[in-house]
Structure 1
């Protein structure tokens, strides 16, 4: 028996799954487009899985979860974390690939107030931003360590996302600011505009 689970099993390629995002990578506000994806992290005791949600406006990781399995509940829990932390009052696109977790009934229910968007079959470019993040966290941080188990992996992921990537790592997309600073600038501009209008 294999000590891991397949990570890239695509599921429903029906015409019901629309690509609403359609390579529009520059929304004009936070909470307009979220990405979600799953990647594996190798540990000496077997794979663990990182589920991430990125806000496309700032490239900020708004929610993440590390799991020993790839069950749908892990994806749902990550979405619920993001919904609890972010403003979802305005229209919001939630984009993913077509693997089974993202076409499940549980996922559809969790994303009921969002526009669900899916990458086209054999067309991965719409997932490039979140996949780039997963490549970066491995290249810049996780690959430096011989990860033993889930606990060590969790500590390393927490350190990278919460103490560096969101708060300190600059991005050319964000005019060489961190995701946090880029969103703070957006909030300041909006507040200044309201003051001027009032």
Structure 2
């Protein structure tokens, strides 16, 4: 009997399980133990003071007794995609060759599910490395529709998350993101255009529109990531997956009173019909 090539077998398993192959082949990123420690300290502080640039963050580090100068802080913050909101209100680096779409949410009342989806990428510290996490969120309900982990910043894992969300939940009227190269890539935007979804991208002064997912990252990190110090990609995927299920299904969201994000998503159309 003919045996599959090992890489083909892995691709089939990934397809069946909706996993990113990058997670299965995860290798800890090549930063020193000291830099990884500094990155976690910077990440925790940035959740508290997202206006800190590299100069202020370096001063904070030095006041706490860490020998970490501004140039190192700046490099690590760039690696982690941390951009202070007062300095440049964009959460990731633009690609000069990619098309930037106009911002469509100005003055728009977002009152129902699948009216607007949004996305973001966050740095996830590991015991001996780090990963990147992307999430697709329904703006109105705050439900996480899909997510992926990756050990690189290419667009592939973002495209996988987007395709899963579209397959499971239909399509939104508008999809909003920052101007990061992953979201402006042809690979990503073509999926939205093929689905006839309007593309919206945050412009200058619109960093506040990322606040829903920023709150998600803060809760995820303090309630899951920092408490567990995951060793491997599979451990991180399992732990983060369990927390996101808890967040969606069991954790009432402040925007919806006693309703969880999943309940708010499932009932939003009913409330609109009752109000009408």
**TM-score bucket of the superposed structures, by smaller chain:** 0.7 to 0.9
Task: Give TM-score scaled by structure 2 length.
Answer: 0.62
Q: How does 1:40-79 map to 2 (within 5 A)?
A: 40-79=123-162
**In structure 1, C-alpha distance between the alignment counterparts of 2:107 and 2:214, rounded to whole Å:** 14
Unaligned runs of 5+ in 2: 1-28, 32-77, 82-91
How far did 1:182 drift? 1.6
Pairing 1:105–2:186 present: yes
Residue 148 and residue 30 in structure 1: after superposition, are their counterparts in 2 closer, same or farther (change >3 A)?
A: same
1:6 maps to which of 79, 89, 110: 79
Structure holding more strand per residue: 1
**In structure 1, C-alpha distance between the alignment counterparts of 2:102 and 2:140, rounded to whole Å:** 21
Larger radius of gyration: 2
Structure holding more helix per residue: 2
Residue 128 and residue 184 in structure 1: after superposition, are their counterparts in 2 closer, same or farther (change >3 A)?
A: same
How far did 1:176 drift? 2.4
Residue 136 and residue 184 in structure 1: after superposition, are their counterparts in 2 closer, same or farther (change >3 A)?
A: same
Give the aligned partner of residue 178 of structure 1: 260
**In structure 1, C-alpha distance between the alignment counterparts of 2:154 and 2:130, rounded to whole Å:** 14
Higher relative CO (Cα under 8 Å, sequence separation at least 6) belongs to: 1
2:222 maps to which of 117, 136, 139: 139
**In structure 1, C-alpha distance between the alignment counterparts of 2:111 and 2:257, rounded to whole Å:** 14
Residue 7 and residue 124 in structure 1: after superposition, are their counterparts in 2 closer, same or farther (change >3 A)?
A: same
**In structure 2, C-alpha distance between the alignment counterparts of 1:81 and 1:190, rounded to whole Å:** 27
Pairing 1:93–2:212 present: no
**Which is worse superposed, 13-22 or 175-184?**
13-22
SS at match of 2:249: coil
RMSD over equivalenced CA pairs, Å: 2.6
How far did 1:12 drift? 4.5
